[in-house]
Structure 1
Amino acid sequence: MPRLQGVDIPTDRPTAVSLTYLYGVGPKTARELCLKAGVDPVARARELTEDEVARLAALLDKDYTVEGQLRRQVTQNISRLRDIACYRGIRHRRGLPVRGQRTKTNARTRKGPKKTVAGKKGVKDLR
C-alpha cells in the first residue's frame, strides 16, 4: 500500500482517485500531479513503482500544501476568527452553522447531535 504524506492510499483504485484520499487533493489536482510526475492516472495504485511514488511525494512536498500543513492553516484561520470575535468566529465557538445555513429545521448536519447545556434544570413534576 503506497504511503504519501503519512496517509496510506488505497491500492485497488486508479492512481488519480487514490490521490484524492489526501486532505487538500481533489480530482483536478490529482490529475495534475499524475501528469507532472509522469504517472499513468488510470493505472491502479498497487502498480506504482517506488520511483513513481517518490516522484509524487517530492511534487507534493515542493508544490502543494496538503495534509498537516493545510490542516494547521485552516485551524489557525478559525482560531483567528474566534479571537477577533467576528460573527463567523462566534458561530464557530458556539458550534452553529457558519455560512448562513438555516437553524430552524430539524437538520443536524452541521450542528451534530444535541448537546446538553450545563446549568439548565428541567421542569419539575408538581404532583
Structure 2
Amino acid sequence: MDNEVKASDASLKEDLKHIVRIANTDLDGHKSVHYALTGIKGVGIRAARIIADCAGIDPNTTIGYLPNADIDKLKEIVDSLDSNLPYWMLNRQKDLLTGENKHIIGTDLLLTLREDINIMKKIRCYKGIRHERGHKVRGQRTRSTGRKGAVVGVSRKAAKKQPQKKQK
C-alpha cells in the first residue's frame, strides 16, 4: 500500500507545471491559484479570487496541478475581465480618450499609465509639472522627507582643513 502512495506522489510531481503562462506572464506553478494570478500586472488578490470563482476553480489549489482545460478557462476570464468584474473594481474607469470603463492588464497597463503622465506633462497641469520636476505629486510634504540623490555633507576632515588655510 505504501508503494502505491509513493507512486501517486511521484506522478503528481511529474504532472506539476513549474511555469504557467497566462496573459503573456509567466506564473509560478508552485503557488495557489489566487496568489499566482496576482503576478499579472493589474490583477490583485480580490480580482484573482473573482477569476477563480468564475472559472469554478478552488482558489487554494496549486496552479501547476490544474489541467489544461482549467488553465484555458482562466485565460478566457482574464482576457475578458471587463465583463466579469463589477464596474467599481475596474482599474480604468472613464478612460480619458474613450470614456468607457475597462480593466487593463499586463504591459498595456504600464503603457497607458506612461501615456497618461505624458498627456499631463503636455497640457501642463499641476500633476504634469510635478512629474516633470520629479517632485511628489499627491500632496505629500517635501520639506524634510523624500530627499533624492546622494548629497554629500561636510566631512570633518574637510571642515578642519578649511579654517587652517584661512589663518595663513
Relative CO higher for 1 or 2, CA cutoff 8 Å, sep ≥ 6? Answer: 1
1:114 maps to 2:137: no
| Alignment-mate amino acid for residue 90 of structure 1 | I
Name the residue aligned to 1:26: 44
Greater helix proportion? 2
Encode CA deviations 1:47-88: one digit per residue, 9 max, x unaligned: 121111111111111224211222222122111111111110
Q: Structure 2 regions of 5+ residues with no counterpart?
A: 1-18, 82-102, 152-161
| Alignment-mate amino acid for residue 53 of structure 2 | L
Name the residue aligned to 1:37: 55
Inter-partner Cα distance in structure 2 for 1:101 and 1:107:
9
Inter-partner Cα distance in structure 2 for 1:80 and 1:25:
25
1:8 maps to 2:26: yes
Inter-partner Cα distance in structure 1 for 2:51 and 2:73:
10
1:102 maps to 2:141: yes
Inter-partner Cα distance in structure 1 for 2:68 and 2:122:
45
SS in 2 for 1:114: coil
Inter-partner Cα distance in structure 2 for 1:105 and 1:12:
43
Name the residue aligned to 1:61: 79
Larger Rg: 2
What's the offset of the Cα at 1:21?
Answer: 0.9
Inter-partner Cα distance in structure 1 for 2:144 and 2:52:
43
Inter-partner Cα distance in structure 2 for 1:101 and 1:92:
13
Provide TM-score, normalisation by structure 2: 0.62
What's the offset of the Cα at 1:106?
Answer: 4.1
| Alignment-mate amino acid for residue 46 of structure 2 | K
- Which one of the candidate residues 82, 85, 88 is aligned to 2:124? 85
- Which one of the candidate residues 62, 65, 69 is aligned to 1:47? 65
| Alignment-mate amino acid for residue 26 of structure 1 | G
What's the offset of the Cα at 1:115?
Answer: 7.3
SS in 2 for 1:2: strand
Total equivalences in the alignment: 115
Inter-partner Cα distance in structure 2 for 1:61 and 1:78:
25
| Alignment-mate amino acid for residue 129 of structure 2 | I
